[in-house]
Amino acid sequence: MIAALYQQASERGFDSLLSAHLFNLIGSVGVSASGMLTGSPDLGDLRFSEPESGWYWEVKPVARGLTGDLRSLSMTQDVPSPSAEEAPFNESFQRNYLTDGIGGEELEVLESEFVLDQQNRVARFRVMGNRSELEREIDVFEWRLFTYLSLFGIGMIAINAAAILLGLRPLGRVREALAKVREGTAQRLRGTFPTEIEPLANETNALIENNRRIVERSRTQVGNLAHSLKTPLAVLINEARALGGDKGKIIADQATAMQSQLEHYLQRARIAAQRDSVVYRTPVTPLLQRMVRVMAKLNAGVSVSFAPPAADILFAGEREDLEEIVGNLLDNAMKWANRRVTVSLAPAAPRDEHGMFAITIEDDGPGIPEDKAREVLKRGRRLDESKPGTGLGLAIVSDLVSEYGGAIELGRAGIGGLKAVVLLRRVE
Protein backbone atom coordinates (compact mmCIF):
# COMPACT_ATOMS: atom_id res chain seq x y z
CA MET A 1 0.00 0.00 0.00
CA ILE A 2 2.72 2.46 1.00
CA ALA A 3 4.86 1.43 -1.99
CA ALA A 4 1.92 1.85 -4.37
CA LEU A 5 1.15 5.32 -3.01
CA TYR A 6 4.81 6.30 -3.31
CA GLN A 7 4.93 5.02 -6.90
CA GLN A 8 1.82 6.98 -7.85
CA ALA A 9 3.17 10.15 -6.23
CA SER A 10 6.55 9.71 -7.94
CA GLU A 11 4.96 9.23 -11.35
CA ARG A 12 2.77 12.29 -10.89
CA GLY A 13 5.80 14.33 -9.85
CA PHE A 14 7.76 13.05 -12.85
CA ASP A 15 4.96 13.99 -15.25
CA SER A 16 4.60 17.43 -13.63
CA LEU A 17 8.35 18.02 -14.00
CA LEU A 18 8.25 17.14 -17.71
CA SER A 19 5.26 19.43 -18.20
CA ALA A 20 7.03 22.32 -16.47
CA HIS A 21 10.16 21.80 -18.59
CA LEU A 22 8.02 21.71 -21.74
CA PHE A 23 6.30 25.03 -21.04
CA ASN A 24 9.64 26.56 -20.07
CA LEU A 25 11.10 25.35 -23.36
CA ILE A 26 8.20 26.76 -25.40
CA GLY A 27 8.62 30.13 -23.73
CA SER A 28 12.36 30.19 -24.50
CA VAL A 29 12.19 29.65 -28.28
CA GLY A 30 11.39 32.24 -30.92
CA VAL A 31 11.54 32.79 -34.74
CA SER A 32 13.82 35.21 -36.60
CA ALA A 33 12.71 37.36 -39.53
CA SER A 34 14.24 34.82 -41.88
CA GLY A 35 12.22 31.99 -40.31
CA MET A 36 15.05 30.49 -38.28
CA LEU A 37 14.34 28.98 -34.87
CA THR A 38 16.18 31.00 -32.25
CA GLY A 39 16.76 30.88 -28.53
CA SER A 40 19.08 29.40 -25.93
CA PRO A 41 16.71 27.67 -23.51
CA ASP A 42 17.96 27.15 -19.96
CA LEU A 43 15.59 24.79 -18.18
CA GLY A 44 17.46 25.03 -14.90
CA ASP A 45 18.51 21.37 -14.80
CA LEU A 46 22.16 20.42 -15.28
CA ARG A 47 21.17 17.04 -16.60
CA PHE A 48 20.20 18.72 -19.90
CA SER A 49 23.86 19.73 -20.28
CA GLU A 50 25.40 16.34 -19.46
CA PRO A 51 25.88 14.20 -22.59
CA GLU A 52 23.63 11.15 -22.80
CA SER A 53 22.23 11.79 -19.33
CA GLY A 54 18.78 10.57 -20.31
CA TRP A 55 17.30 14.06 -20.02
CA TYR A 56 16.89 15.81 -23.38
CA TRP A 57 14.91 18.49 -25.12
CA GLU A 58 14.49 19.15 -28.83
CA VAL A 59 12.69 21.68 -31.06
CA LYS A 60 11.97 20.93 -34.76
CA PRO A 61 10.08 22.92 -37.38
CA VAL A 62 6.82 21.44 -38.66
CA ALA A 63 5.40 24.16 -40.98
CA ARG A 64 6.97 25.48 -44.16
CA GLY A 65 8.95 28.66 -43.86
CA LEU A 66 10.51 27.51 -40.62
CA THR A 67 14.07 26.18 -40.47
CA GLY A 68 16.70 25.09 -37.99
CA ASP A 69 16.80 22.56 -35.19
CA LEU A 70 17.43 23.18 -31.52
CA ARG A 71 18.43 20.51 -29.01
CA SER A 72 20.00 20.16 -25.60
CA LEU A 73 23.73 19.58 -25.16
CA SER A 74 22.93 16.21 -23.62
CA MET A 75 21.27 14.97 -26.82
CA THR A 76 24.22 13.73 -28.91
CA GLN A 77 22.07 11.57 -31.21
CA ASP A 78 18.57 11.54 -32.54
CA VAL A 79 15.91 9.95 -30.38
CA PRO A 80 13.26 8.06 -32.36
CA SER A 81 9.76 9.49 -32.46
CA PRO A 82 6.64 7.50 -33.40
CA SER A 83 4.31 8.63 -36.13
CA ALA A 84 1.10 10.50 -35.35
CA GLU A 85 -0.83 7.34 -36.18
CA GLU A 86 1.15 5.31 -33.62
CA ALA A 87 0.92 7.97 -30.89
CA PRO A 88 -1.79 10.49 -31.80
CA PHE A 89 -1.93 14.01 -30.39
CA ASN A 90 -4.75 15.00 -28.09
CA GLU A 91 -7.01 18.04 -28.41
CA SER A 92 -4.29 20.23 -26.89
CA PHE A 93 -1.81 19.05 -29.55
CA GLN A 94 0.17 17.10 -26.97
CA ARG A 95 1.12 13.47 -26.69
CA ASN A 96 2.99 11.32 -24.23
CA TYR A 97 4.85 8.13 -25.05
CA LEU A 98 7.77 5.89 -24.08
CA THR A 99 10.82 5.30 -26.26
CA ASP A 100 14.38 4.03 -26.05
CA GLY A 101 17.11 6.53 -25.18
CA ILE A 102 20.59 7.00 -26.55
CA GLY A 103 22.16 4.79 -23.88
CA GLY A 104 19.41 2.17 -23.97
CA GLU A 105 17.51 3.70 -21.07
CA GLU A 106 13.76 4.04 -21.16
CA LEU A 107 12.57 7.60 -21.83
CA GLU A 108 9.23 9.19 -21.16
CA VAL A 109 8.54 11.86 -23.78
CA LEU A 110 6.17 14.78 -23.51
CA GLU A 111 5.70 16.33 -26.95
CA SER A 112 3.68 19.34 -28.13
CA GLU A 113 3.13 21.27 -31.37
CA PHE A 114 2.95 25.01 -30.84
CA VAL A 115 2.30 28.06 -33.12
CA LEU A 116 5.24 30.45 -32.78
CA ASP A 117 4.10 33.59 -34.65
CA GLN A 118 1.26 35.28 -36.46
CA GLN A 119 2.19 33.46 -39.64
CA ASN A 120 1.03 30.25 -38.00
CA ARG A 121 4.43 28.67 -38.23
CA VAL A 122 4.39 25.55 -36.06
CA ALA A 123 7.29 23.87 -34.28
CA ARG A 124 7.36 20.54 -32.42
CA PHE A 125 8.75 20.64 -28.88
CA ARG A 126 9.93 17.51 -27.08
CA VAL A 127 11.10 17.10 -23.51
CA MET A 128 12.45 13.68 -22.55
CA GLY A 129 13.03 12.36 -19.04
CA ASN A 130 14.90 9.24 -17.91
CA ARG A 131 12.13 6.84 -16.89
CA SER A 132 14.72 4.27 -15.75
CA GLU A 133 15.86 6.67 -13.01
CA LEU A 134 12.30 6.86 -11.76
CA GLU A 135 11.98 3.08 -11.73
CA ARG A 136 15.27 2.75 -9.84
CA GLU A 137 14.15 5.30 -7.26
CA ILE A 138 10.90 3.41 -6.78
CA ASP A 139 12.78 0.11 -6.46
CA VAL A 140 15.19 1.60 -3.90
CA PHE A 141 12.28 3.00 -1.91
CA GLU A 142 10.45 -0.34 -1.95
CA TRP A 143 13.61 -2.16 -0.84
CA ARG A 144 14.22 0.29 1.99
CA LEU A 145 10.57 0.17 2.97
CA PHE A 146 10.65 -3.63 3.03
CA THR A 147 13.89 -3.58 5.05
CA TYR A 148 12.62 -1.08 7.60
CA LEU A 149 9.25 -2.77 7.94
CA SER A 150 10.96 -6.14 8.30
CA LEU A 151 13.26 -4.79 11.00
CA PHE A 152 10.28 -3.16 12.67
CA GLY A 153 8.30 -6.41 12.47
CA ILE A 154 11.19 -8.46 13.82
CA GLY A 155 11.64 -5.94 16.61
CA MET A 156 7.95 -6.07 17.49
CA ILE A 157 8.00 -9.87 17.46
CA ALA A 158 11.06 -9.89 19.71
CA ILE A 159 9.48 -7.38 22.09
CA ASN A 160 6.20 -9.30 22.18
CA ALA A 161 8.02 -12.61 22.63
CA ALA A 162 10.03 -11.18 25.51
CA ALA A 163 6.88 -9.72 27.04
CA ILE A 164 5.05 -13.03 26.68
CA LEU A 165 7.94 -15.02 28.13
CA LEU A 166 8.28 -12.66 31.05
CA GLY A 167 4.53 -12.61 31.53
CA LEU A 168 4.24 -16.41 31.40
CA ARG A 169 7.16 -17.05 33.73
CA PRO A 170 4.85 -17.09 36.78
CA LEU A 171 2.69 -19.66 34.99
CA GLY A 172 5.82 -21.78 34.65
CA ARG A 173 6.12 -21.78 38.44
CA VAL A 174 2.47 -22.80 38.67
CA ARG A 175 3.13 -25.62 36.21
CA GLU A 176 6.10 -26.85 38.25
CA ALA A 177 4.03 -26.71 41.44
CA LEU A 178 1.21 -28.65 39.75
CA ALA A 179 3.73 -31.23 38.55
CA LYS A 180 4.83 -31.77 42.15
CA VAL A 181 1.20 -32.26 43.18
CA ARG A 182 0.65 -34.67 40.31
CA GLU A 183 3.77 -36.65 41.25
CA GLY A 184 2.67 -36.82 44.86
CA THR A 185 5.63 -34.89 46.27
CA ALA A 186 3.36 -32.01 47.37
CA GLN A 187 -0.24 -31.79 48.55
CA ARG A 188 -0.91 -28.23 47.35
CA LEU A 189 0.59 -25.40 45.29
CA ARG A 190 3.29 -23.71 47.32
CA GLY A 191 5.23 -20.57 46.51
CA THR A 192 4.83 -16.86 45.95
CA PHE A 193 2.88 -15.89 42.85
CA PRO A 194 2.12 -12.50 41.24
CA THR A 195 -1.16 -10.79 42.03
CA GLU A 196 -2.60 -11.83 38.65
CA ILE A 197 -1.74 -15.51 39.20
CA GLU A 198 -2.45 -15.81 42.91
CA PRO A 199 -6.25 -16.26 42.46
CA LEU A 200 -5.55 -19.15 40.07
CA ALA A 201 -3.22 -20.79 42.60
CA ASN A 202 -5.75 -20.30 45.40
CA GLU A 203 -8.59 -21.78 43.35
CA THR A 204 -6.40 -24.73 42.36
CA ASN A 205 -5.50 -25.38 46.00
CA ALA A 206 -9.17 -25.15 46.91
CA LEU A 207 -9.98 -27.67 44.16
CA ILE A 208 -7.30 -30.08 45.40
CA GLU A 209 -8.51 -29.74 48.98
CA ASN A 210 -12.12 -30.28 47.92
CA ASN A 211 -11.05 -33.36 45.96
CA ARG A 212 -9.28 -34.71 49.03
CA ARG A 213 -12.31 -34.08 51.22
CA ILE A 214 -14.58 -35.87 48.75
CA VAL A 215 -12.27 -38.88 48.74
CA GLU A 216 -12.04 -38.98 52.52
CA ARG A 217 -15.79 -38.53 52.91
CA SER A 218 -16.47 -41.29 50.41
CA ARG A 219 -14.04 -43.59 52.19
CA THR A 220 -15.67 -42.84 55.54
CA GLN A 221 -19.15 -43.46 54.19
CA VAL A 222 -18.08 -46.72 52.58
CA GLY A 223 -16.47 -47.85 55.82
CA ASN A 224 -19.52 -46.90 57.86
CA LEU A 225 -21.81 -48.74 55.48
CA ALA A 226 -19.61 -51.83 55.57
CA HIS A 227 -19.52 -51.88 59.36
CA SER A 228 -23.27 -51.27 59.67
CA LEU A 229 -24.10 -54.22 57.41
CA LYS A 230 -21.33 -56.59 58.44
CA THR A 231 -22.80 -57.50 61.84
CA PRO A 232 -26.39 -58.18 60.64
CA LEU A 233 -25.10 -60.34 57.82
CA ALA A 234 -22.79 -62.25 60.16
CA VAL A 235 -25.73 -62.88 62.52
CA LEU A 236 -27.86 -64.13 59.62
CA ILE A 237 -25.10 -66.48 58.48
CA ASN A 238 -24.49 -67.89 61.97
CA GLU A 239 -28.21 -68.33 62.70
CA ALA A 240 -28.75 -69.99 59.34
CA ARG A 241 -25.94 -72.44 59.98
CA ALA A 242 -27.31 -73.15 63.46
CA LEU A 243 -30.76 -73.71 61.97
CA GLY A 244 -29.34 -76.43 59.74
CA GLY A 245 -31.27 -78.32 57.13
CA ASP A 246 -31.91 -77.29 53.57
CA LYS A 247 -33.54 -74.01 54.53
CA GLY A 248 -30.67 -73.08 56.81
CA LYS A 249 -28.17 -73.89 54.06
CA ILE A 250 -30.09 -71.78 51.52
CA ILE A 251 -30.25 -68.82 53.91
CA ALA A 252 -26.55 -69.15 54.80
CA ASP A 253 -25.52 -69.38 51.13
CA GLN A 254 -27.60 -66.36 50.15
CA ALA A 255 -26.37 -64.30 53.11
CA THR A 256 -22.79 -65.23 52.23
CA ALA A 257 -23.42 -64.18 48.63
CA MET A 258 -24.88 -60.90 49.88
CA GLN A 259 -21.79 -60.36 52.00
CA SER A 260 -19.51 -61.04 49.03
CA GLN A 261 -21.50 -58.77 46.74
CA LEU A 262 -21.49 -56.04 49.39
CA GLU A 263 -17.72 -56.20 49.75
CA HIS A 264 -17.30 -56.16 46.00
CA TYR A 265 -19.48 -53.13 45.29
CA LEU A 266 -18.25 -51.21 48.31
CA GLN A 267 -14.75 -51.74 47.03
CA ARG A 268 -15.72 -50.46 43.57
CA ALA A 269 -17.46 -47.42 45.04
CA ARG A 270 -14.37 -46.53 47.05
CA ILE A 271 -12.16 -46.87 43.97
CA ALA A 272 -14.47 -44.75 41.80
CA ALA A 273 -14.47 -41.98 44.40
CA GLN A 274 -10.70 -41.70 44.50
CA ARG A 275 -9.76 -42.81 41.00
CA ASP A 276 -9.51 -39.31 39.56
CA SER A 277 -7.67 -37.79 42.49
CA VAL A 278 -4.61 -35.80 41.46
CA VAL A 279 -2.64 -36.26 44.69
CA TYR A 280 -2.16 -40.05 44.94
CA ARG A 281 1.22 -41.17 43.64
CA THR A 282 2.63 -44.37 45.12
CA PRO A 283 6.24 -45.65 44.89
CA VAL A 284 5.93 -49.26 43.73
CA THR A 285 9.29 -50.84 44.62
CA PRO A 286 9.20 -50.33 48.42
CA LEU A 287 5.59 -51.51 48.52
CA LEU A 288 6.45 -54.74 46.67
CA GLN A 289 9.50 -55.33 48.87
CA ARG A 290 7.43 -54.96 52.04
CA MET A 291 4.62 -57.22 50.83
CA VAL A 292 7.07 -59.89 49.65
CA ARG A 293 8.69 -59.91 53.10
CA VAL A 294 5.29 -60.25 54.80
CA MET A 295 4.19 -63.09 52.50
CA ALA A 296 7.50 -64.89 53.00
CA LYS A 297 6.99 -64.85 56.79
CA LEU A 298 3.39 -66.08 56.51
CA ASN A 299 4.32 -68.90 54.11
CA ALA A 300 7.60 -70.34 55.27
CA GLY A 301 7.38 -73.32 52.92
CA VAL A 302 7.34 -71.19 49.76
CA SER A 303 10.31 -69.19 48.46
CA VAL A 304 9.35 -65.67 47.30
CA SER A 305 11.85 -63.62 45.27
CA PHE A 306 11.72 -60.06 43.99
CA ALA A 307 14.36 -58.29 41.89
CA PRO A 308 13.75 -54.51 42.09
CA PRO A 309 14.33 -52.42 38.94
CA ALA A 310 17.18 -49.92 38.65
CA ALA A 311 14.81 -46.96 38.90
CA ASP A 312 11.65 -46.89 40.95
CA ILE A 313 8.24 -46.49 39.34
CA LEU A 314 5.40 -44.34 40.66
CA PHE A 315 1.88 -45.78 40.49
CA ALA A 316 -0.75 -43.20 39.50
CA GLY A 317 -3.09 -44.20 42.31
CA GLU A 318 -3.48 -44.79 46.03
CA ARG A 319 -1.23 -47.05 48.07
CA GLU A 320 -4.14 -49.05 49.56
CA ASP A 321 -5.40 -49.98 46.10
CA LEU A 322 -1.99 -51.16 44.94
CA GLU A 323 -1.66 -53.18 48.17
CA GLU A 324 -5.06 -54.74 47.45
CA ILE A 325 -4.01 -55.71 43.93
CA VAL A 326 -0.61 -57.11 44.86
CA GLY A 327 -1.90 -58.70 48.06
CA ASN A 328 -4.63 -60.68 46.29
CA LEU A 329 -2.28 -61.81 43.53
CA LEU A 330 0.44 -62.83 46.00
CA ASP A 331 -2.08 -64.58 48.23
CA ASN A 332 -3.38 -66.54 45.25
CA ALA A 333 0.16 -67.42 44.11
CA MET A 334 1.25 -68.51 47.61
CA LYS A 335 -1.91 -70.59 47.99
CA TRP A 336 -1.28 -72.61 44.82
CA ALA A 337 2.52 -72.63 44.61
CA ASN A 338 4.47 -75.77 45.37
CA ARG A 339 7.74 -74.18 46.45
CA ARG A 340 8.44 -71.02 44.47
CA VAL A 341 6.94 -67.60 43.62
CA THR A 342 8.67 -64.81 41.67
CA VAL A 343 7.75 -61.13 41.48
CA SER A 344 9.08 -58.64 38.91
CA LEU A 345 8.49 -54.98 38.11
CA ALA A 346 9.28 -53.14 34.86
CA PRO A 347 7.93 -50.55 32.40
CA ALA A 348 5.41 -52.22 30.11
CA ALA A 349 7.67 -52.18 27.02
CA PRO A 350 7.20 -52.61 24.15
CA ARG A 351 3.54 -51.58 24.60
CA ASP A 352 4.39 -48.52 26.66
CA GLU A 353 2.60 -45.91 24.57
CA HIS A 354 0.42 -44.70 27.44
CA GLY A 355 2.92 -44.66 30.33
CA MET A 356 2.20 -48.11 31.80
CA PHE A 357 4.20 -50.42 34.03
CA ALA A 358 3.88 -54.16 34.62
CA ILE A 359 3.88 -56.22 37.81
CA THR A 360 4.42 -59.90 37.02
CA ILE A 361 3.78 -62.64 39.62
CA GLU A 362 4.55 -66.28 38.75
CA ASP A 363 4.20 -69.50 40.73
CA ASP A 364 5.16 -73.13 40.14
CA GLY A 365 1.70 -74.49 40.96
CA PRO A 366 -0.76 -76.29 38.67
CA GLY A 367 -1.71 -73.12 36.79
CA ILE A 368 -5.00 -72.41 35.03
CA PRO A 369 -6.14 -73.78 31.66
CA GLU A 370 -6.17 -71.08 28.98
CA ASP A 371 -9.90 -71.46 28.37
CA LYS A 372 -10.57 -70.83 32.08
CA ALA A 373 -8.37 -67.71 32.44
CA ARG A 374 -11.26 -65.27 31.99
CA GLU A 375 -13.64 -67.30 34.10
CA VAL A 376 -11.58 -66.98 37.30
CA LEU A 377 -11.78 -63.19 37.04
CA LYS A 378 -15.54 -63.30 37.57
CA ARG A 379 -16.96 -62.70 41.03
CA GLY A 380 -17.29 -65.82 43.18
CA ARG A 381 -15.93 -68.24 40.54
CA ARG A 382 -13.58 -70.90 41.93
CA LEU A 383 -12.09 -73.66 39.79
CA ASP A 384 -11.03 -75.74 42.80
CA GLU A 385 -13.26 -75.82 45.90
CA SER A 386 -10.63 -77.72 47.91
CA LYS A 387 -8.75 -74.52 48.71
CA PRO A 388 -10.23 -72.02 51.17
CA GLY A 389 -11.52 -68.68 49.89
CA THR A 390 -14.50 -66.78 48.54
CA GLY A 391 -13.53 -66.57 44.90
CA LEU A 392 -13.41 -62.76 45.07
CA GLY A 393 -9.63 -62.18 45.13
CA LEU A 394 -8.95 -62.15 41.39
CA ALA A 395 -12.31 -60.48 40.70
CA ILE A 396 -11.38 -57.63 43.04
CA VAL A 397 -8.01 -57.35 41.31
CA SER A 398 -9.71 -57.22 37.90
CA ASP A 399 -12.12 -54.50 39.03
CA LEU A 400 -9.39 -52.43 40.65
CA VAL A 401 -7.16 -52.67 37.60
CA SER A 402 -10.05 -51.82 35.28
CA GLU A 403 -11.02 -48.77 37.33
CA TYR A 404 -7.48 -47.45 37.00
CA GLY A 405 -7.50 -47.93 33.23
CA GLY A 406 -5.16 -50.92 33.31
CA ALA A 407 -5.36 -54.58 32.33
CA ILE A 408 -4.68 -58.02 33.77
CA GLU A 409 -3.39 -60.97 31.77
CA LEU A 410 -3.26 -64.59 32.94
CA GLY A 411 -1.10 -67.20 31.27
CA ARG A 412 1.40 -70.01 31.74
CA ALA A 413 4.45 -69.15 33.86
CA GLY A 414 7.97 -70.02 32.84
CA ILE A 415 8.35 -71.99 36.10
CA GLY A 416 5.27 -74.07 35.38
CA GLY A 417 2.29 -72.47 37.13
CA LEU A 418 0.19 -69.34 36.73
CA LYS A 419 1.64 -66.11 35.38
CA ALA A 420 -0.35 -62.98 36.29
CA VAL A 421 0.67 -59.72 34.60
CA VAL A 422 -0.94 -56.48 35.79
CA LEU A 423 -0.58 -53.35 33.65
CA LEU A 424 -1.15 -50.05 35.46
CA ARG A 425 -0.56 -46.40 34.67
CA ARG A 426 2.58 -44.82 36.00
CA VAL A 427 3.54 -41.23 36.74
CA GLU A 428 6.07 -39.86 34.26
In a domain, 83, yes or no: yes
pLDDT at residue 53 greater than cutoff 80: yes
287 and 415 both lie in a single domain: yes
Name the residue with higher pLDDT: 353 or 15: 15
229 vs 247: CA distance, rounded Å: 22
307 vs 341: CA distance, rounded Å: 12
328 and 405 both lie in a single domain: yes
313 vs 344: CA distance, rounded Å: 12
Contact present, 392 and 376 (Cβ < 8 Å)? no
* Strand arrangement of the beta sheet that strand 356-363 belongs to: 303-307, 340-347, 356-363, 418-425, 407-412
Q: How confident is the model at residue 386 (pLDDT cuts 50, 70, 90)?
A: very low
pLDDT of res. 342: 94
pTM for this entry: 0.45
pLDDT in tens, 337-348: 999 999 999 987
Share of the chain above pLDDT 90, in %: 16
Name the residue with higher pLDDT: 222 or 200: 200
Distance between alpha carbon 233 and the CA centroid of its chain, in Å?
57
Please identify, among 116, 137, 158, the residue that sits at the C-terminal boundary of a domain: 137
Per-residue pLDDT averaged across 51-80, rounded?
87
Q: 383-386: long-range contacts (C-beta < 8 A, 24 or more apart)? A: none
**b vs e for 318-337, b when ≥16 Cβ sit within 10 Å of the residue's Cβ?**
beebbebbbbbbbbbbbbbb
In a domain, 189, yes or no: no
pLDDT in tens, 116-157: 888 888 889 999 998 888 888 888 888 998 899 999 999 999
397 vs 321: CA distance, rounded Å: 9
287 and 418 both lie in a single domain: yes
Find the CATH number of the domain harbouring 420. Answer: 3.30.565.10
133 vs 201: CA distance, rounded Å: 65
Q: Which domain holds residue 242?
A: 198-274
250 and 351 both lie in a single domain: no
SS (H, E, C) the chain: CHHHHHHHHHHHHHHHHHHHHHHHHHHCCEECCCCEEECCCCCCCHHHCCCCCCCEEEEEECCCCCECCEECCCCCCCCCCCCCCCCCCCCCCEEEEEEECCCCCEEEEEEEEEECCCCCCEEEEEEEEEHHHHHHHHHHHHHHHHHHHHHHHHHHHHHHHHHHHHHHHHHHHHHHHHHHHHHCCCCCCCCCCCCCCHHHHHHHHHHHHHHHHHHHHHHHHHHHHHHHHHHHHHHHHHHHHHHCHHHHHHHHHHHHHHHHHHHHHHHHHHHHHHCCCCCCCEEHHHHHHHHHHHHHHHCCCCEEEEECCCCCCEECCCHHHHHHHHHHHHHHHHHHCCCEEEEEEEECCCCCCCCEEEEEEEECCCCCCHHHCCHHHCCCCCCCCCCCCCCCHHHHHHHHHHHCCCEEEEEECCCCCEEEEEEEEECC
pLDDT in tens, 302-311: 899 998 888 8
Contact present, 22 and 127 (Cβ < 8 Å)? yes
242 and 364 both lie in a single domain: no
303 and 418 both lie in a single domain: yes
Please identify, among 106, 137, 168, the residue that sits at the C-terminal boundary of a domain: 137
In a domain, 399, yes or no: yes
The chain-wide mean pLDDT, for the chain, equals: 83
pLDDT of res. 358: 93
Distance between alpha carbon 246 and the CA centroid of its chain, in Å?
69
**b vs e for 131-168, b when ≥16 Cβ sit within 10 Å of the residue's Cβ?**
bbbbeeeeeeeeeeeeeeeeeeeeeeeeeeeeeeeeee
Name the residue with higher pLDDT: 390 or 217: 217
344 and 361 both lie in a single domain: yes
pLDDT at residue 91 greater than cutoff 60: yes
Q: Is the dihedral of CA 43, 49, 51, 53 positive or negative?
A: negative
In a domain, 170, yes or no: no
33 and 55 both lie in a single domain: yes
Distance between alpha carbon 112 and the CA centroid of its chain, in Å?
67
Q: How many domains does the chain fold into?
A: 3
Per-residue pLDDT averaged across 7-18, rounded?
87
242 and 294 both lie in a single domain: no
pLDDT at residue 70 greater than cutoff 70: yes
pLDDT in tens, 252-281: 888 887 877 777 666 666 665 555 555 567
pLDDT of res. 151: 93
pLDDT in tens, 210-220: 887 887 787 77
8 and 122 both lie in a single domain: yes
Distance between alpha carbon 244 and the CA centroid of its chain, in Å?
70
411 and 318 both lie in a single domain: yes
374 and 245 both lie in a single domain: no
Q: How confident is the model at residue 34 (pLDDT cuts 50, 70, 90)?
A: confident
